[in-house]
Every structure is written in structure tokens, then in C-alpha cells.
Structure 1
């Protein structure tokens, strides 16, 4: 017996804004689609001159444990390469996942891409991001 259902999809697109790159994701970030985000980010890590990556998740409909694992890996890789990694538009399922796992304050988050880019060009951070290796208190 085979079970079929709607196949998850994810659209990933990047745009360059000076030394910052905005990666927009739309759809479901799960075991079947996580490779698309991984491959996109992998190319950016290897690209010289990128100092900030903003992952726009405003149109993300779903995120499972594989998707969350990819976000954590991206944050760690950014820290290792001194590339600032930000999330914009966190809401819905992803907000709940980050809250439940205690990771809400670990990622630098901004309401919109525009606000993230302002912070990127200012070089400062008004977010509560503590980095992956700090405890996620204040849940």
C-alpha cells in the first residue's frame, strides 16, 4: 500500500544588496526540500565579499526538524566565517518552533528585510541575538 499526499515545495531566491545577500524562502522547509536552502547557502558561504546573509522567512509555511537543523548549521557557519546571519519575517510555525526549542533569542531577527538591511549597513544590532553558544534565557 502506498500513501500519497501533497508534495512539499520550497522556492529559494537570492538577491545581492552590496555586501549583504537576501535569501528569500517560500513554502515548506522540511526533509524533502532542505537541500535547496543548503545548496543556496553553500554557494554564498564560498562567495567572497559577503558579510551579511538575511534569510527572509516571511513566506515560510512550515519548518520541520531538518529545516531547523539547517538554520542552526547556517548560524554556526556564519559565526565561523564571520558572516552575520539574520532572519527576517519570522512568524507562524517557525516562531513557535524557535520558541519551543529555546532558540528564539539565539537568532538575530528583524521584522522585515528592509530593517535587517538597515542594521546590516549600520553594523549594529538592536536585536536580542545572543549567538548559538549563549543560553537562551528569557523565554
Structure 2
């Protein structure tokens, strides 16, 4: 597997090629850790057009990236979802949870046109948020 990143203004594009599985997921994890540590990133585009296989560990890393992005107010967009990854996301009910675009250029254009994301909901004492349950599906559906 190969992972490479490029910066486009306030967006970071991470291209993933090959199999995203238990043996390679650490490469994506390490790359994303650098993205999360970079100040000023407001959009993360994961280009998965060249992902040929994705197992449960790969899927778990994608979900973790989505949750981390939500926590840091970084918009996560998947591009090029096809084949096995599309099937995995569909079977697990996660296909509509992730924002998706066909190409990186489309995702970057859409992100630029949309402007900044809304601020994260404030958490009230007791852990309740202002937007209901704040679960994965509800939060991702707000986009």
C-alpha cells in the first residue's frame, strides 16, 4: 500500500493506493496522525480511488478518521469510492454516512464553495450536546 499527502490551501488530500487491511492500515493511520497535528486544516479529502481491498481494520480506520474529523471540526470527504470499498460501505450501512465525491477536484471545489463548517455543538453538563444524541449517523447527516 502507498499513502501520500498534498496540501491545497486549508485542505489536505491523502491518496491511498492498494489494500487497506490489517497489515497496512498503520500507514494510513500514521499519515492521518500528521494531518490531525497540522494546524489550519479544515478539510481532509481521502482519495480512495486506487483502494483495491478493505477489511474491517481498514473500515475501522475510516470511521475513526470521520469521528476525529468531527471532533476537530475538520470536514472529511471520500473520493473515488468504488469496488470492494463501495460494497463494504453499503453492506455496513455507512455509505451515506461519509460525504463522497467522484474526484478530488470536485471535492475541493465543493468544499471551497460551501465555506466554513458550522461550529461544533456545545456540550452541556452531563455530556448532552445541543443537537440531540450526537451519534455518528446524526452528525454526518448534518452535512
Indicate the TM-score class for this superposition, using the shorter chain for normalisation.
Answer: 0.7 to 0.9
Correspondence for 2:11 among 20, 23, 28? 20
After superposition, the C-alpha distances for 1:37-77 in whole angstroms (9 at most, x for unaligned) are 00000110010010000000000000000000000000000
Higher helix proportion (structure 1 or 2): 2
TM-score w.r.t. length of structure 1: 0.84
Which among 126, 137, 140 is matched to residue 133 of structure 1?
A: 137
Gaps of 5+ in 2: 116-134
The alignment's C-alpha RMSD in Å is 1.8
The CA deviation at 1:107 is 0.1
Runs of 4+ in structure 1 over 3 Å off: none
- SS of the residue 2:95 aligns to: coil
Give the Cα–Cα distance (whole angstroms) in 2 for the partners of residues 91 and 133 of structure 1. 21
Tell me if the contact between 1:107 and 1:132 (Cα under 8 Å) persists in the aligned partners.
no
How many residues are treated as equivalent by the alignment?
122
Which residue of the partner structure matches residue 21 of structure 2?
A: 30
